[in-house]
Chains A and B, each alone.
Chain A
């Protein structure tokens, strides 16, 4: 019984953790190329979820809604890059921090005005009746979240390794100046990274909406966790983000079971403090050499 409970807690926690990881992965994508992140990433998750829900409501079938939602997310990502990041980066200023926050707030109020402030259920053809696997209860819906998370991350990684544009992406991440000398347009690559990041956010929105319902504040708790994951793992490593996300999710469940449900948020915060104190570049981050 006891082992079963632990296994159940780890599995449920890890599933939530994989969503944290997916959102954190969105941070990581843009940080790799441009050393900037979108602080309004949570609003991208929420806006894409609302857009996908609208698609479903006007009668678009589920399988067609998914690419529609992803495209919308990518478009939003591009918009954030153009409106909030590009100019700041050209001027080598930190203005993108404030600008992405402002764009996020703008997105939040737009969502409130367009779709209202209520939480709405998100219909899905995937069943939420529990299956029993080795004594663990898990719903097909939760399995679909895990599959979705790994599928989209796998695809993005494949894109980075196998296509020309992806290789440019890697080159800019490794050394922006050198890449530009080789004739790679850093601006274009950063654009691509923001588009991908928006798409990843949309995927996260579509995946979790059936579980969390859709509302303007749906991502506000998730985004904090995702941020903790990104910082703890380090913003350089896609693999690290996944691992830390899953560990954090499982740790949260276990803590709330063994210590008490009031302590659920504690492990994430403790990890964050520890990481900042011991490894400021993240557990999987590369140490940067600062030239003076």
Chain B
């Protein structure tokens, strides 16, 4: 028994090292458990779908050899301290070509410095908090190996405020959770309200903690101030508690907030109380293009589900892998620094499920974080929760995206 075990172990070690030679190692890290898990697992599964497709087509051709992609998965549990440990481990991993992932802004803040120190190329997706990129511009970093592939909160907050103004609201309440994501979302909202001409009066700015279930006091303060809408930044379970609290207190006002309002644990726990919630989305689970159709069907089939837990995360994870693969191909190397240089100047457009990405990133400039941000507001649409699904809030967006893809 012992001998066979030893033999198997040795064999597997041998196999692993043999495998590593002609494979490109990408780490996928994110919360695969806990309150942010729908985003983490969808991102991971979307990314793995893309990896499987690329490998099925033979891999990436580097020189004369075709190299396959190999995924290394790490669960950061959505906790900052755990995320820092994962980043440290990845930073010192042998032969790692890059990292894709991170859902929680706090983890980008606690962990990415370890990757940046070693110059490991990372594409952040789907963490949206502004701080995960602005931390580098504030520090004046000259050469950055961290990229982001998500509609950052600056874009999202602008859309949320715009939506509130368009709906002719004048008084709003801002609710946010006490995490890095929530707090930076609140700052973005206040900032955007100023930028868009102070047309909204903030009658209440209320905080809640992860795990809070009773939102009565926060909502009553909003009610007492006469709020016509709740602008909110948080994650699934607490967003659901807010939706349920609104219903309980007989407040029929809409929730408009970050893209997290599309998380399955919001939609499931809020039930019918979640209907009508509005949020920016980069991808809606509706087969409006052939590419989207094959992606959605592929995902449903591969993971045996009828609804993607977080379609945005899945689509972004999927496209991020294709962009990364394009950079590997252009660099003709598995070396992380060469891949970074290629990412900053992608020559060929990459056809993804969200859009066709033409030159998504450019050479890092600390004065302009958009150099390492792939998304602009034109890549983003308003989604709305309706009967357990996220749909297009405006038909115009649906048509626009259709045309966009046809081009």
Contact = CB atoms under 8 A, between A and B. Distances in A.
A119 interface: yes
A162 to B, nearest CB: 36
B237 interface: yes
Interface size class of B (residues with CB under 8 A): 20 to 34
Given A9-B217, A212-B213, A117 B248 contact: no
Given A12-B214, A117-B37, A5 B220 contact: yes
B221 A257 contact: yes
Contacts of B265: 118-119
A77 B244 CA distance: 34
Contacts of A260: 206-207
A132 interface: yes
A150 to B, nearest CB: 19
Contacts of B77: 117
Interface in A108-140: 112, 116-119, 121, 128-130, 132, 137, 139
A162 B265 CA distance: 47
Interface in B169-225: 178, 206-209, 211, 213-214, 216-218, 220-221, 224
Interface string A1-26: 10001001100110010000000000
Nearest to A1: B224
Contacts of B208: 261
A1 B265 CA distance: 34
B26 to A, nearest CB: 24
A213 interface: yes
B108 to A, nearest CB: 21
A227 B145 CA distance: 47
Contact of A132 (B33, B237, B250): B250
Contacts, number: 76
B345 interface: no
Contacts of A279: none
Contacts of A112: 33
- Kindly name the residue among B34, B217, B248 whose own CB sees the greatest number of chain A CB atoms within 10 A: B217
Given A117-B34, A121-B269, A261 B220 contact: no
Interface string A252-268: 01101100111010000
A187 interface: no
A211 interface: yes
Given A130-B250, A213-B269, A256 B218 contact: yes
A60 B327 CA distance: 55
Nearest to A121: B269
Contacts of B250: 130, 132, 137
A182 interface: no
B248 A121 contact: no
B268 interface: yes
A287 interface: no
Contacts of A254: 217
A12 B33 contact: no
Contacts of B211: 217, 220-221
A257 B220 contact: yes
Given A119-B237, A262-B207, A130 B220 contact: no
Interface size class of A (residues with CB under 8 A): 20 to 34
Given A121-B269, A137-B249, A213-B237, A9 B220 contact: yes
Nearest to A9: B217
B235 to A, nearest CB: 11
A170 B194 CA distance: 65
A211 B213 CA distance: 7
Nearest to B240: A213
A257 B217 contact: yes
Contacts of A129: 247
Contacts of B126: none
A128 B33 CA distance: 28
A256 B219 CA distance: 11
A9 to B, nearest CB: 6
Given A132-B250, A213-B269, A253-B216, A116 B33 contact: yes
Nearest to B41: A118
B360 interface: no
A130 B33 contact: no
B268 A121 contact: yes
B311 interface: no
Contacts of A132: 250
B83 interface: no
Contacts of B247: 128-130
B35 interface: yes
Interface string B99-143: 000000000000000000000000000000000000000000000
Contact of A137 (B34, B248, B269): B248
Nearest to B265: A119
Interface string B335-348: 00000000000000
A12 B37 contact: no
A9 B216 contact: yes
A8 B207 CA distance: 19
A63 to B, nearest CB: 23
Contacts of A139: 248
29 contacts: A1-B224, A5-B220, A8-B220, A9-B217, A12-B216, A12-B217, A13-B214, A16-B214, A117-B33, A117-B37, A117-B77, A119-B269, A128-B247, A130-B250, A132-B250, A137-B248, A139-B248, A213-B213, A213-B237, A221-B209, A221-B211, A253-B216, A256-B218, A257-B217, A257-B221, A260-B207, A261-B207, A261-B218, A262-B178
Given A129-B247, A256-B217, A262-B207, 15 more contacts: A5-B224, A9-B216, A9-B220, A13-B214, A16-B214, A117-B34, A117-B37, A118-B33, A118-B34, A119-B35, A121-B269, A211-B213, A213-B237, A220-B211, A257-B220
Report, nearest first, the 8 A-B pairs whose CB atoms are least far apart. Answer: A117-B33, A256-B217, A12-B216, A257-B217, A130-B248, A261-B207, A261-B206, A212-B213
Interface of A: 1, 5, 8-9, 12-13, 16, 112, 116-119, 121, 128-130, 132, 137, 139, 211-213, 217, 220-221, 253-254, 256-257, 260-262, 264
